[in-house]
Copies of this chain bind each other. A is one copy, B any other.
Amino acid sequence: MPHRRVRRPRPGAVPGAIVAAGTGRTRVQVVSYGPDSFHDVTAASADDCASFLGGHGVVWLDVLDAPDAGTLETLGRLLHLHPLAVADAANVPQRPKHEAYDGFDFLVLRLVRLGPPGTPLDSEQLSIFWGAGWVLTIGEHPSDALNPIRERLRTGSSELRARGADFLAYALLDVVVDNYFPVVESIGDRLEELETRVLGRPDRELLVSIHRLRRELASLRRAVWPLREALSQLVRDGSGRFSPATVPFLRDCYDHAVQIIDLLETYRDHSASLLELHLSAVDLRTNEVMKVLTLIATVFLPLTFITGLYGMNFTPSSPWNLPELRLRYGYPLVLLVMAAIAGAMMLFFRRKGWLGGRSDPVGIEPSPDEKDSPD
């Protein structure tokens, strides 16, 4: 998931310059509707849209392809958009935000969709402009995320048809916000799975998996926080820009954004604590292994010393030199002594609690045993 560059003109360029990705063939889907009417046409170019504007109902212009500079300028001219706002729809990615201009409102949103398992998040910018009687949406590439809205418009019973352009803008916003839920929940599922692995038999890749998940969480947070901020402001100042009946819906949408942030924060805390737990567990386990191995080594060292002792070649002619070697039961005796030493050491280690296991006394307060034992 490499950092994504902002598409923007070089420093010093005229403000509002457009650095568009489009190829010039930009189709626009025009949906015009009222309480009793619904028309759905795909215009081959922005110029064809002019005739649909200015009627009685609401017109929704949905730019289907990555827009080119010409299309954007045409649309800007038709709908009297400010060049800076148009440039923000082209020079992606922008931060999610809401801007109020004279005659129109402008929302920048980040639309996330869950890709096939294993692939990174699919994320594109969705820019929504709306004014009296029209809504304009500009994405980055063709997408089916807005189809449910189109379907609800098509079916006559929908409340959507009866309300104005601001309610359509709300409905689009609501779809974008609700699309975060499956994404966030899939992260929650992966987190559960990671926790199971940390508590069970974690392998070396766990560290990288947690790191990746944390980066995805961070990028989601960066998308949702400004969205929440913009929504909070819309709810507060909404009465002028939205019809009063729309405001509770907007508040509901804001609530969803807060809930998503709540989940993201929970997952972030959880992932941090998981990472910590993982590292501590690996550490504890390695320490334990090292301790056991060192204990084994420590038991064998005096024994090996003794074997070395009786492997020395002192001349047996002197009665002072290694008389043990000449004893009848020398060897069995030495074996006994060595067994006794090994046993005493094991006993000492067990009393010290160094042998690990359930009752491993890694406490700080010295245990009674320790106080007695000489150092």
Which residues of A are at the interface with B, using a C-beta cutoff of 8 A? 2-3, 5-6, 8, 10-15, 82, 84, 88, 94-95, 97, 99, 101, 145, 147-149, 152, 158-159, 171, 174-175, 178-179, 181-182, 185, 188, 191-192, 198-205, 207-208, 211, 214-215, 218-219, 222, 248-249, 251-252, 255, 258-259, 262-263, 265-267, 269-270, 273, 275-277, 279-287, 289-291, 293-298, 300-305, 307-318, 320-322, 324-332, 334, 352-367, 375
Residues of B within 8 A of A13 (CB): 148, 178
Taking a contact as CB atoms closer than 8 A, the residue among B101, B178, B286 that contacts A291 in the complex is B286
- Would B298 and A293 count as touching, CB distance under 8 A? yes
- Would B11 and A179 count as touching, CB distance under 8 A? yes
- Would A201 and B84 count as touching, CB distance under 8 A? no
Within the assembled complex, what's the spacing in Å between the Cα atoms of A330 and B314?
7
Taking a contact as CB atoms closer than 8 A, the residue among B3, B207, B296, B318 that contacts A266 in the complex is B3
Within the assembled complex, what's the spacing in Å between the Cα atoms of A82 and B300?
78
Taking a contact as CB atoms closer than 8 A, the residue among B199, B321, B327 that contacts A331 in the complex is B321
Taking a contact as CB atoms closer than 8 A, the residue among B15, B252, B275, B331 that contacts A312 in the complex is B331
Q: Which one of A82, A262, A276, A363 has the highest number of Cβ atoms from chain B below 10 Å of its Cβ?
A: A363
Question: In the complex where A192-B3, A266-B218, A313-B311 touch, is A208 in contact with B364 (Cβ < 8 A)?
Answer: yes
- Would B14 and A199 count as touching, CB distance under 8 A? no
Question: In the complex where A84-B249, A365-B200 touch, is A318 in contact with B312 (Cβ < 8 A)?
Answer: no
- A sample of 8 more A-B contacts (CB under 8 A), given A204-B364, A275-B276, A300-B302, is A3-B267, A15-B171, A15-B252, A99-B251, A215-B270, A293-B295, A314-B324, A315-B326
Question: In the complex where A301-B300, A325-B314 touch, is A199 in contact with B365 (Cβ < 8 A)?
Answer: yes
- Would A359 and B201 count as touching, CB distance under 8 A? yes
- Would A182 and B11 count as touching, CB distance under 8 A? yes
- Would A201 and B367 count as touching, CB distance under 8 A? yes
Residues of B within 8 A of A188 (CB): 3, 5
Within the assembled complex, what's the spacing in Å between the Cα atoms of A311 and B325?
12
Taking a contact as CB atoms closer than 8 A, the residue among B3, B273, B305, B331 that contacts A304 in the complex is B305
- Would B11 and A178 count as touching, CB distance under 8 A? yes
* Closest B residue, CB atoms, query A326: B315
Within the assembled complex, what's the spacing in Å between the Cα atoms of A276 and B252?
39
Question: In the complex where A94-B259, A148-B11, A149-B12 touch, is A201 in contact with B5 (Cβ < 8 A)?
Answer: no
- Would B192 and A258 count as touching, CB distance under 8 A? no
* Closest B residue, CB atoms, query A159: B14
A177 CB, min distance to chain B CBs, angstroms:
8
- Would B297 and A301 count as touching, CB distance under 8 A? yes
Question: In the complex where A290-B291, A362-B286 touch, is A313 in contact with B315 (Cβ < 8 A)?
Answer: no
Within the assembled complex, what's the spacing in Å between the Cα atoms of A98 and B15?
22
